[in-house]
Structure 1
Amino acid sequence: MLIDTDDYAPKLKQAIGELGAAAPATLAGFQALDGAAARSGTLDAKTRELIALAVAVTTRCDGCIALHSAAAAKAGASRDEVAQALSVAIALNAGAALVYSARALDAFGQQSG
């Protein structure tokens, strides 16, 4: 096990609570944004959590992975569905690296000549 999410998630929630106590407007703004995404009504909870989990991987957010993997399981996602969503995240990251590599090469070309 790379990260014990059963141990990590409660500690993360506590730390976020402490941050919220120090910066309540910031936490309230985040909660409003998160709540609005959950109330979209078009996508079911399982689909939203699969998307969130894939995005969590692309943004390299351990806390998001811990929380959204639990939410995906609670919403009924299967291991195969999670693996397929993560496959999309992997492909997107590779695609983003390709696009930004082209941009970097272009930027280098602008500097050298």
Structure 2
Amino acid sequence: MLEWKQEIQDIGSRLKELSTRTPDTLRGFGLIAGAGAKTERLGAKTRELIALAVAVTTRCDGCIAFHAAEAVKLGVSDDEIAEALGVAINLNAGAAMTYSTHVLDAIDALKQA
């Protein structure tokens, strides 16, 4: 298992370095990251639950670290997190099943070519 606090620190340090090399990229990312907070339509807890589910589906440990820390800070419950993770698990299985049909289509098309 990762040391999650260390992961956050390590990534943060490297992102500071990256921001000196490509500041507009990091500034742009910051704008995107903060856009939802400006509308407050979903609320911070819901946004973090979505972020955690997406982090699982994209297999991003850094995303998990940062968004888990924010979820803890916001008081997201273990049950809320479990439900969000259930959605992620369902989506990954569903995505694999759906994309399996793409493989079948590709095989059929290539056999006909």
Query: 1:60 matched to which residue of 2?
Result: 59
- Structure-2 separation of matches of 1:31 and 1:21: 14
What is the aligned-residue RMSD (CA, Å)? 0.9
Structure 1 runs of 4+ with >3 Å offset: none
Whether 1:42 aligns to 2:41 is yes
Unaligned 5+ runs, structure 2: none
Distance 1:77 1:110 in 2: 47
Letter in 2 for 1:72: A
Query: What secondary structure sits across from 1:39 in the alignment?
Result: helix
CA-CA distance at 1:38 after TM superposition: 2.2
Cα distance in 1 for partners of 2:79, 2:2 equals 20
Q: CA deviation at 1:81?
A: 1.0
Structure-1-length-normalised TM-score: 0.95
In the alignment, the residues of structure 2 paired with residue 40 and residue 95 of structure 1 have an alpha-carbon distance, to the nearest angstrom, of 30
Q: How many pairs were matched up?
A: 112
Q: Matched residues in 2 for 1:71 and 1:35: separation?
A: 14
TM-score by length of 2: 0.95
Greater share of helix? 2
Identity over the aligned pairs, expressed in percent?
52
**Match status 1:82 vs 2:81:** yes
**Whole-Å Cα distance in 2 between the matches of residues 40 and 107 of structure 1?**
42
The residue identity in structure 1 corresponding to 2:29 is F
What amino acid is the match of 2:99? Y
Equivalent in the alignment of 2:104 = 105
CA displacement, residues 5-60 of structure 1 (integer Å, 9 cap, x when unaligned): 11110111111111111111111110111111222211111111011110111111
Structure 2: distance between partners of 1:107 and 1:73: 44
Distance (whole Å) between structure 1 residues aligned to residue 2 and residue 83 of structure 2: 21
* Unpaired runs of at least 5, structure 1: none
